[in-house]
């Protein structure tokens, strides 16, 4: 019989990385012990929410979507603020990509921990990667270690944040997806910064995804939809 100690909650965005993580969690903890959480943070590309739901359905795990409408109110990033165009550019002041949503992963994982606390899970799984081209500071291993400590202390429960993709390149993430049988679900994912399915193929997110599949020698099923 499983216990709280065995239950895992995956932060599922509907993208390639979090979908791979969902299958990683199912492989590691067993399908009956895995559930997924998605955040409606006011992202311009609402299709992400639908993709997350579909991926969870195909994977056979529950999915809950929680609203956080504050990021859009903060403004200034390309994923929630309609005044900021999505581009491959960087913010001149911070030198971070315009697609950086300040605080996003910190808030997501804190809410995920709060949800996990209420639903008896101690394992949180997220698709953040240090190897990510963009170098988002909230994707770093150090940030995750500090956050794990903070939520463990702050909720007085021993949480573990799993980051299976932390040191994998995009090619290695594709290899892992193949190994875990997650390829079919890849057709349901969304990656494009322009919100397109099939993908635009031009934006940085599309190009990075395409390169990962090409290097792995695997055909991306998203291109066939």
Q: Which residues bind Zn ion (CB under 5 A)?
A: 192, 194, 199-200, 203, 206
133 to 20, 37, 170, 197: CA distances (angstroms): 18, 25, 10, 22
Determine which helix (DSSP H) or strand (DSSP E) holds 8, and give its type and residue range. strand 8-11
List the structure tokens of 124.
């949180």
Query: Minimum distance from CB of 185 to Zn ion (Å)?
Result: 19
Determine which helix (DSSP H) or strand (DSSP E) holds 18, and give its type and residue range. helix 16-29
Q: How far apart are CA 124 and CA 101, in angstroms?
A: 21
Which residue, 9 or 206, has its beta carbon nearer to Zn ion?
Answer: 206
Residue 22: name the closest of 60, 71, 49, 75 by CA. 60
Query: Minimum distance from CB of 35 to Zn ion (Å)?
Result: 29
Query: Minimum distance from CB of 195 to Zn ion (Å)?
Result: 8
End-to-end CA distance of the chain: 40
Which residue, 119 or 207, has its beta carbon nearer to Zn ion?
Answer: 207
Phi then psi dihedrals of residue 36, to 5 deg: -130, 155
Helix (H, G, I), strand (E, B) or coil at 150: helix
Q: How far apart are CA 130 and CA 193, in angstroms?
A: 20
Tokens 């090409």 — which residue? Answer: 214
Query: Minimum distance from CB of 84 to Zn ion (Å)?
Result: 17
Query: Minimum distance from CB of 31 to Zn ion (Å)?
Result: 32
Which residue, 77 or 161, has its beta carbon nearer to Zn ion?
Answer: 77
Query: Minimum distance from CB of 222 to Zn ion (Å)?
Result: 11
């Amino acid at each position: 019989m499983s216990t709280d100690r065995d239950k895992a909650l995956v932060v599922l965005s509907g993208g390639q990385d979090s979908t791979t993580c969902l299958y990683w969690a199912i492989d590691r903890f067993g399908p009956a012990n895995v559930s997924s959480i998605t955040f409606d943070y006011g992202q311009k590309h609402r299709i992400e929410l639908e993709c997350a739901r579909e991926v969870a359905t195909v994977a056979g795990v529950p999915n809950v979507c929680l609203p956080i409408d504050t990021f859009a109110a903060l403004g200034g990033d390309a994923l929630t603020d309609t005044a900021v165009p999505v581009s491959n550019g960087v913010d001149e002041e911070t030198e971070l990509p315009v697609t950086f949503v300040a605080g996003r992963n910190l808030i997501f994982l804190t809410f995920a921990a709060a949800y996990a606390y209420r639903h008896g899970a101690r394992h949180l799984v997220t698709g953040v990667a240090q190897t990510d081209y963009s170098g988002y500071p909230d994707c770093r291993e150090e940030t995750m270690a500090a956050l794990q400590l903070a939520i463990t202390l702050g909720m007085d429960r021993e949480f573990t944040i799993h980051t299976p993709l932390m040191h994998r390149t995009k090619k290695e993430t594709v290899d892992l997806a193949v190994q875990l049988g997650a390829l079919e679900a890849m057709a349901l994912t969304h990656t494009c910064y322009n919100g397109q399915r099939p993908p635009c193929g031009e934006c940085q997110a599309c190009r990075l995804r395409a390169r990962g599949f090409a290097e792995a020698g695997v055909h991306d099923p998203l291109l066939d939809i």
